[in-house]
Chains A and B, each alone.
Chain A
Amino acid sequence: MKREVAEKDRFSPDRDRVVIAGSLLIILALTFLPFLVVRATRISPPAGLSFFGAVGPVPLFGIAALVTASVFSSFRKDSRWRTATSAWLSRMLVILILWQAGVASSRLLGPDIPFARISLGSGAWLSLLGAFTVMSSCRSSAKSDRVFVVFCWGFYAALLLLIISGELDSLSFMVEYSNRSARFWKEISRHITLSLSAVTLGLMLGFPLGVTAFRRDQLRTVILSSANTLQTIPSLAMFGLMIAPLAWAARSFPFLASMGVGGIGWTPALIALTVYSLLPIIRNTISAFSMIDPSITESGLGIGMSRGQLFYRVELPIAMPVILTGVRISGVQAIGNTAVAALIGAGGLGQFIFQGLGEAAPDLILLGAIPTVALALAADSILKRLTEKLRPGGNP
């Protein structure tokens, strides 16, 4: 609410300084920092390669033209025009930078250096950050524009096409993927299964706990503070604390062991991840029900609804968006913590991260870390959309 007020009387200059800053970042990063990093083998020391040295004059000219255009457009008075061009240019830049990195690396990867690894250097990453800066300068004003939405999907399609087409296959990250593509898909589905089950269990436990805490004042403090304390415990420590009791349980009750319960593996991971997802769900359930205007429940009772009807048909739909926000926070958190669970043998994308750390192989680390980040971002945006749709009065 207050934020909107602040946005409205935002100081609006006749030029977009954010776009200028983003464009400058792209230029500086591509001029002074290594665009690609070449290593003779998977674990040998890196050598940087400048943008010009990597891509040659033509793409250099293309990117320079795009950046110049974006700087010029940022001086235009018409803000709608400014928004449209920077939205367009920044996405073109992202595609172009990635594509050129792919093209350059497949040219570099010749027969004389067959085991070489070529990855994006700091210059490439920072120029992508610059493009992102330009992109987000126009986000808030363009969000409602239909053309812009179509354009956004076009951008994702182009990105996907770039990956599928094989243009990026010489980049080390993709090399690492193609060396273990079968295992990659196995680990990623394991990762998703584990985090999804944890959040589902967390919702099944957390929702009733939240409702109980909302209805009984004496229990609220106990439930909230214990969930809070559990949430505070570092994930690695939590996994560690689970090992001994579960190993003991598996030893003492053979039928548990035959079900696959043990000190390491999926059991401690699932329990710990479920415990972590409790707090956001409980907290949001409580605040969702506390926000309901008592006059609404009273009028429900007034028209002769039973307690149960009132709960399922009035209170729950109103509370849903806030509860879902809790589910979103839990989900994002669970995806991150599942990566840590690889340390106790639960599998998932963390396998690649920690194996990569163990072998000092940066590409393998990326193969685990980048999809983990992508999963978290995807879960976040999907659940955000769902929340928006369910918001009473929101567009269905």
Chain B
Amino acid sequence: MRLPGTFPRWARLSLLIAAFTALLFAGPAWEGTLRTLFPGQRSVIYERASLARLAGEHMILTGLSSALATLLGVTAGIIVTRKRGRDFLPVVDDITSIGQTFPPVAVLALAVPALGFGFTPTIFALFLYGLMPVLHNTVAGLLEIQPEVMDAAEGLGMRPSQILFTVELPLALPVIMGGIRTSAVISVGTATIGATIGAGGLGAPIISGLISQNPAVVLHGAVPAALLAILVDKVLGEAEASMIRGR
């Protein structure tokens, strides 16, 4: 649905990505702007690491944990919707609905007594929390398929694995993608708080600015963190929309 006079979606998206990347490497521009906005502050930018490096850490944290969550969530979702795994469906349902009620920050905080500080416990917490929406949507997507469709596939003499890969998964894909999107966006947000347990990322300037009561440094982290989350949401939303269109 393209309105006359607007950019096509992909062009808008790549423009957004380009703008975000430019922002990461525009050190002097940041310094100039923040200095004008906060003339009273002695230092206005986070000096311990470059913005590009922090964004890189942030993307590795969320990318890795989302990939793991997707892999395991989709697999587990497939298992509990098979005949042999159906017994475990109510348990998985319970766990995902209760798990999604857990506040992400609590999951992150609880990872510390269990696993300690740093990068690995953060990834683990993000993965564990990110698993819930993926698993939930995979199960929902697979169960939503009309029984007639499955009957037809069976009637054609397809093997169960064939039905799974050529009928069920393609039909459930948009719903699964929705789960991955939710999971990834939450993950970007939670990774920001990961800075409090020493995971780095774009939360680091925010925390450091809060501790030193320096609102300029807080903005130096908060603006790119917000933009990254919006960007991830838009890109994955676009992927989801194209899957719905391609259905």
Residues of A within 8 A of B (CB): 2-3, 5-6, 10-11, 13, 16-18, 21, 119, 122, 133, 136-137, 139-140, 228-229, 232-238, 240-241, 243-244, 247, 263-264, 332, 335-337, 339-340, 343-344, 350, 353-354, 356-357, 360, 362, 365-366, 368-370, 372-373, 376-377, 380
Contacts and interface: CB of A to CB of B under 8 A. Distances in A.
Contacts of A5: 147
B229 A336 contact: no
Contact of A336 (B95, B103, B195, B230): B103
B229 A11 contact: no
Contacts of B114: 122
A369 B110 contact: yes
Contact of B226 (A238, A337, A353, A376): A238
A362 B112 contact: yes
Interface stretch (B9-17, B85-93, B153-161, B166-174): B85-93
B87 to A, nearest CB: 5
Interface in B63-115: 83-84, 86-91, 94-95, 98, 101-106, 109-110, 112-114
B238 interface: no
B112 to A, nearest CB: 6
A1 to B, nearest CB: 10
Contacts of A356: 109
A30 to B, nearest CB: 18
B6 to A, nearest CB: 13
B185 interface: yes
Contact of B110 (A6, A119, A366): A366
A357 B87 contact: no
A333 to B, nearest CB: 8
B112 A357 contact: yes
16 contacts: A2-B143, A10-B89, A17-B88, A122-B114, A137-B91, A234-B189, A236-B222, A238-B226, A336-B106, A353-B105, A356-B109, A362-B113, A368-B109, A369-B106, A369-B109, A372-B106
Nearest to B34: A244
B94 A360 contact: no
Contact of B229 (A122, A137, A234, A340): A234
Contacts of B230: 229, 232-233
Given A5-B147, A240-B206, A354-B196, A13 B87 contact: yes
B215 A247 contact: yes
B37 interface: yes
B126 interface: no
A360 B206 contact: no
B229 A233 contact: yes
Contacts of B195: 236
Given A236-B207, A240-B221, 7 more contacts: A136-B94, A235-B192, A236-B222, A240-B218, A365-B110, A365-B112, A373-B103
Given A236-B203, A339-B103, A344 B229 contact: no
Interface in B139-185: 143-144, 146-147, 185
Contacts of A238: 222, 226
Interface in B187-243: 188-190, 192-193, 195-197, 202-203, 206-207, 209-210, 215-216, 218-219, 221-223, 225-226, 229-230, 233
A18 B91 CA distance: 8
A244 B219 contact: yes
Given A234-B192, A354-B196, A376 B105 contact: no
B109 A376 contact: no
A221 B223 CA distance: 24
Nearest to A374: B106
B184 to A, nearest CB: 11
A240 B90 contact: no
A247 B37 CA distance: 12
B106 A339 contact: yes
B196 A6 contact: no
B103 A372 contact: yes
Contact of A376 (B86, B102, B189, B206): B102
A344 B196 CA distance: 13
A362 to B, nearest CB: 3
B117 interface: yes
A370 B110 CA distance: 9
Interface string B111-137: 011100100000000000000000000
A336 B209 contact: no
A45 B106 CA distance: 22
Contact of A343 (B146, B196, B202): B196
Closest 6 CB pairs of A and B: A336-B103, A240-B222, A362-B113, A234-B189, A237-B225, A136-B94
